[in-house]
Homo-oligomer: A and B are copies of this chain.
């Protein structure tokens, strides 16, 4: 099967397309973090994106290319942030949205999707159950399926955060990006290597969910048991097809963080950045705090992917 891989020009086009509709999120620094790591680190705060995560970029990039007269209904499956993002993007542009969500998703994420006006369809946990439920619905209702990561429009949209980061932070030696299905890092890698060939692109996975690390080592997509980790946005058991074909070419390495290291990252973000992150959003920061980048170059960009954790759950995680 031949697929179209998104190119640097697609990320640039996505940035122009979605620019007026998204938040240009701030890039933060911390003297305390730099003193501790001996590096200059720039955090791209996608926890402050519309919907609380980078996912709104990709969703908006898809929706802005659809015609609501011709395709009035969009559908997706998502553990939360992508579903929320698609619901918000759909509403903003006059589409209806259906979001298939596993029953065990974090409650604030489910409530946000409802509040964003989408029709919720609950299913059992796990990627196969999600895809089955989507297929059942599509058999009865014609709709545009917007995959959470294995879609070139989504990947190009997610890459725009790295584009903004590189524009603002100046020359970076490395870019550190959380890896779930691989859409964020695929788009980020296309953007970063396009702006700055030779930049080191580092993915971060939770120790229990190292499907992309294993897949890169094996040279092909490897399936692992559904990971148990506090980083619920990164609980993918297998890399995407499209994302893996990009990441095997452009990602230099994958490093791993434990749940305790992620908690330390969340605490640091509270104490020093004054930012609320969800566990998946903190994995890049956690990897640097834990000294996983060896050798660590001088100037490092980190994508903070999201902040949808909820006050009650945050209190648990910080305790």
Contacts and interface: CB of A to CB of B under 8 A. Distances in A.
Contacts of A274: 47-48, 52, 275-277, 307
Number of this chain's copies in the assembly equals: 2
Contact of A267 (B267, B270, B277, B311): B311
Contacts of A108: 271
Nearest to A319: B315
A94 interface: no
Which range contains the number of A residues in contact with the other chain?
Answer: 20 to 34
Interface in A82-132: 108, 115
A1 interface: no
Contacts of A48: 28, 274
Given A271-B108, A275-B276, A311 B318 contact: yes
A26 interface: yes
A interface SS class: helix
A47 B28 CA distance: 13
A312 interface: yes
Contacts of A290: none
A315 B270 CA distance: 10
Contact of A311 (B47, B270, B312): B270
Given A315-B315, A319-B315, A310 B275 contact: no
A314 interface: yes
Contacts of A270: 276, 309-311, 314
Contacts of A32: 115
A93 to B, nearest CB: 15
A267 to B, nearest CB: 4
Interface string A252-288: 0000000000000011001100111100000000000
Interface string A6-18: 0000000000000
Contacts of A47: 274
Nearest to A266: B311
Smallest CB-CB A-B distances: 4 pairs:
A274-B307, A315-B318, A267-B311, A274-B276
26 contacts: A26-B26, A47-B274, A48-B274, A52-B274, A108-B271, A267-B311, A270-B276, A270-B310, A270-B311, A270-B314, A271-B310, A274-B275, A274-B276, A274-B277, A274-B307, A275-B275, A275-B276, A276-B276, A311-B318, A312-B318, A314-B314, A314-B318, A315-B315, A315-B316, A315-B318, A315-B319
